[in-house]
Chains A and B, each alone.
Chain A
């Protein structure tokens, strides 16, 4: 038996308008996986976009007890929290999208940092968010005009802001508010060949910003696999994981999650509407999709952000997909400090979160990796360094990258460990092979992690050998920052004016009130 603290997922799209739209767009996904009702559990369907209750049970089955929804438009915060309430067992939270908020874009050139700090603090509190999420900063707004930003210094619409100023300002504000987590960033140019240069530049641009006292990082690069591509065209597509990991190894201020892809049928969904539109164009050339391209969806959230959804099938024999798969594994294997990296699939973009056990087996066993490399396109061997990497993770390393470091990056003191002050969230696994021989029997790793023997949440057994035994409410984590009252008064008129002039909802209907948090954990921070 192996005892670990409950798993912590730092980045998984599990609730909100985008996920719900994904469920509507993909009725065929529902019949792929069906959960029957039991005495304690509700029924559910869905594989890449599972229904709310099913999501909670599926996490508990793998021994996970915490997951974060990473893209919540403030306007849709109510919807997101309504769905989060319906996800049982696990604790959860949501990141507030701020990358293309008009208030931020307009005021950035005037750079009144107090005003900006007050606004971010107000917005996080109103939307019940956990941290600042930036998705293709500035790109969401430019996409409303049919264009996209391609470098950190591109102009954004009619505003004076650039992606660089947005990232820098919000990173500074984040540290001033001493939020538990750093800014959570989805880079510009995501998914495009040669984007590693943008990623490097993005990391460099926040280098000087001093983090709050209790941590050394000031930026979290999310699903970094999608931002580590080399080559100028799709034909020259290759891995630049070395460059990215070199930077993270040398500089202490970056943390990341990998965004591994899985060779399976999944749904891509992100607030980066421009990229989803580009991806739809790519599907016109892929054999699995209709000749006129895959079905797709795109949306604009007024004054705040955009979103898009495209179903996608990752194929072993597709050279680009094979390289993407290899990059995802190169990153954790090349990073020296495992407290800076997490396992994620950017659920459901790279694949459903239910495939995490498979990723553990790839990380723990070179044999497992070689097996996939043999079946995959030869580009994965030729254009990446994965086949040369002989490092194999121990169970302790897996515990680090699947729970401890995520909890640390999120600033959660009671998660990711089993010491004094920890929550009683425990996962107990059993492997049919001796623990020192797991790398030989990699199928046992996958089997063992896929179904915990016991999952314990808040001291209560919730899952016993795949059977749900209890389905308690999980807590919603959100932050509250104490800022001087006169700062709030300073921005009040501007916010009210904005709602009167532009928003389709009134300010009174915008805020998420306390009914949306039947069980909550408020993290209060002080200004620094």
Chain B
């Protein structure tokens, strides 16, 4: 079953954010079109029905299993927060940008965003897959405020650039970034893998207590609490495959327990060997 949600034309960009946690296959499962239209969402402090801001198209029959539901988002959803929150199966495809907290605590299914996402995309994720074709904001695959148990399973792939504190408090899973990232990549990393193909700003892996960060681009600087260990010609991951080096292997963070590992591509990071 396919459900297409398009912003009402002409597209009036709602300035007040909309709490759209019900845009999820689990919520739409077992519901008729009229029921979905009348689902209420909050715009600021006002409760409005979904059909007031969105045109809904329904293809196929009412579906009980969220696994078979595909949601298509057309238009600029950058003020819609919490899309795909708690989703366990099915898929969401957005043909434009989406707002904060995309796929918060999702445990399964797939989200594809053909635009940019805001902060906290994939925060506290417990499974499933997120593919972002544009840029992502801060705290990608991270954790909500205060929670020390971040993303615990699943996969995130970003084709563009990422903001600060990507993968903060991550407990397991895989984040792959094709673009560049900003400061504090993999802060408080506990377990899991982060692979960055682009360049990274400083303070990589601050306070990490485990896990692995691989950087194939240039790193501006490594924290003094990391120590160079050895050179490796090749590394391999169960959920990713082989990566050709040679790599510089660092361990740290000495300010915490030095169980984390940093792999930096040698030919771009020779300035770190002194």
Measured CB to CB, the residues of A under 8 A from B are 25-29, 31, 288-292, 294-295
B255: nearest chain-A partner, CB-CB: A292
Tell me if B55 counts as interface (CB < 8 A to partner A).
no
Tell me if B146 counts as interface (CB < 8 A to partner A).
yes
B144 and A290 form a contact (CB under 8 A): no
A292 and B209 form a contact (CB under 8 A): yes
Tell me if B256 counts as interface (CB < 8 A to partner A).
yes
Looking at chain A's contact residues, is the secondary structure mostly helix, strand, loop, or mixed?
loop
A27 and B209 form a contact (CB under 8 A): no
B114-157 to A contact mask, C-beta < 8 Å, 1/0: 00000000000000000000000000000011111100000000
CA distance A29 to B144 in the complex (A): 11
Number of B residues, CB within 8 Å of A:
15
List, sorted by A's number, 28 A–B pairs whose CB atoms are closer than 8 Å. A26-B146, A27-B144, A27-B145, A27-B146, A28-B144, A28-B145, A28-B146, A28-B147, A29-B146, A31-B144, A288-B149, A289-B148, A290-B148, A290-B169, A290-B188, A290-B190, A290-B209, A291-B190, A291-B209, A291-B210, A291-B256, A291-B257, A291-B259, A292-B209, A292-B256, A292-B257, A294-B148, A295-B148
Cβ-closest 5 pairs across A and B: A27-B146, A28-B146, A28-B147, A291-B209, A27-B145
CB-defined contacts of A292 to chain B, threshold 8 Å: 207, 209, 256-257
Picked from A25, A290, A291, the residue with its CB within 8 Å of the CB of B146 is A25
The minimal Cβ–Cβ distance linking B39 to chain A, given in whole angstroms, is 16
CA distance A290 to B256 in the complex (A): 10
CA distance A26 to B146 in the complex (A): 6
CB-defined contacts of A294 to chain B, threshold 8 Å: 148
CB-defined contacts of A290 to chain B, threshold 8 Å: 148, 169, 188, 190, 209
CA distance A25 to B188 in the complex (A): 17
Known: A292-B257, A295-B148. 11 other contacts (CB 8 A): A26-B146, A28-B144, A29-B146, A288-B149, A290-B148, A290-B169, A290-B188, A290-B190, A291-B209, A292-B207, A292-B256
CA distance A31 to B190 in the complex (A): 23
B218-258 to A contact mask, C-beta < 8 Å, 1/0: 00000000000000000000000000000000000000110
The minimal Cβ–Cβ distance linking A289 to chain B, given in whole angstroms, is 7
CA distance A290 to B253 in the complex (A): 14
Q: Of residues A26, A31, A289, A291, which shows the largest number of chain B Cβ atoms within 10 Å of its Cβ?
A: A291
CB-defined contacts of A29 to chain B, threshold 8 Å: 146
The minimal Cβ–Cβ distance linking A282 to chain B, given in whole angstroms, is 16
B256: nearest chain-A partner, CB-CB: A292
B149: nearest chain-A partner, CB-CB: A288
CA distance A291 to B210 in the complex (A): 9
CB-defined contacts of B256 to chain A, threshold 8 Å: 291-292
CA distance A376 to B209 in the complex (A): 30
CB-defined contacts of A291 to chain B, threshold 8 Å: 190, 209-210, 256-257, 259
A37: nearest chain-B partner, CB-CB: B45
CB-defined contacts of B147 to chain A, threshold 8 Å: 28
The minimal Cβ–Cβ distance linking B219 to chain A, given in whole angstroms, is 24
CA distance A26 to B257 in the complex (A): 24
CA distance A29 to B210 in the complex (A): 25
CB-defined contacts of B148 to chain A, threshold 8 Å: 289-290, 294-295
| B residues 253-270 in Cβ contact with A at 8 Å | 256-257, 259
The minimal Cβ–Cβ distance linking B237 to chain A, given in whole angstroms, is 21
The minimal Cβ–Cβ distance linking B12 to chain A, given in whole angstroms, is 27
CA distance A122 to B8 in the complex (A): 68
CA distance A306 to B146 in the complex (A): 24
CB-defined contacts of A25 to chain B, threshold 8 Å: 146
B253: nearest chain-A partner, CB-CB: A292
The minimal Cβ–Cβ distance linking B273 to chain A, given in whole angstroms, is 29
CA distance A205 to B256 in the complex (A): 45
CA distance A445 to B33 in the complex (A): 40
The minimal Cβ–Cβ distance linking B187 to chain A, given in whole angstroms, is 12
The minimal Cβ–Cβ distance linking A310 to chain B, given in whole angstroms, is 12
The minimal Cβ–Cβ distance linking A36 to chain B, given in whole angstroms, is 10
CB-defined contacts of B259 to chain A, threshold 8 Å: 291
The minimal Cβ–Cβ distance linking B101 to chain A, given in whole angstroms, is 11
CA distance A292 to B190 in the complex (A): 10
B145: nearest chain-A partner, CB-CB: A27
B161-183 to A contact mask, C-beta < 8 Å, 1/0: 00000000100000000000000
The minimal Cβ–Cβ distance linking A35 to chain B, given in whole angstroms, is 15
Q: Of residues A31, A289, A295, which shows the largest number of chain B Cβ atoms within 10 Å of its Cβ?
A: A31
CB-defined contacts of A295 to chain B, threshold 8 Å: 148
The minimal Cβ–Cβ distance linking B42 to chain A, given in whole angstroms, is 10
CA distance A100 to B190 in the complex (A): 40
CA distance A291 to B258 in the complex (A): 11
A292: nearest chain-B partner, CB-CB: B256
The minimal Cβ–Cβ distance linking B253 to chain A, given in whole angstroms, is 10
B210: nearest chain-A partner, CB-CB: A291
A291: nearest chain-B partner, CB-CB: B209
CA distance A289 to B148 in the complex (A): 7
The minimal Cβ–Cβ distance linking A292 to chain B, given in whole angstroms, is 5
The minimal Cβ–Cβ distance linking B22 to chain A, given in whole angstroms, is 15
CA distance A294 to B147 in the complex (A): 11
The minimal Cβ–Cβ distance linking B150 to chain A, given in whole angstroms, is 10
The minimal Cβ–Cβ distance linking A279 to chain B, given in whole angstroms, is 16
CA distance A404 to B207 in the complex (A): 52
Q: Of residues A25, A28, A29, which shows the largest number of chain B Cβ atoms within 10 Å of its Cβ?
A: A28
CB-defined contacts of B145 to chain A, threshold 8 Å: 27-28
| B residues 189-215 in Cβ contact with A at 8 Å | 190, 207, 209-210
CA distance A289 to B190 in the complex (A): 10
B188: nearest chain-A partner, CB-CB: A290
CA distance A25 to B148 in the complex (A): 12
The minimal Cβ–Cβ distance linking B192 to chain A, given in whole angstroms, is 14
Q: Of residues B146, B188, B257, which shows the largest number of chain A Cβ atoms within 10 Å of its Cβ?
A: B146
A294: nearest chain-B partner, CB-CB: B148
B169: nearest chain-A partner, CB-CB: A290
CB-defined contacts of A31 to chain B, threshold 8 Å: 144
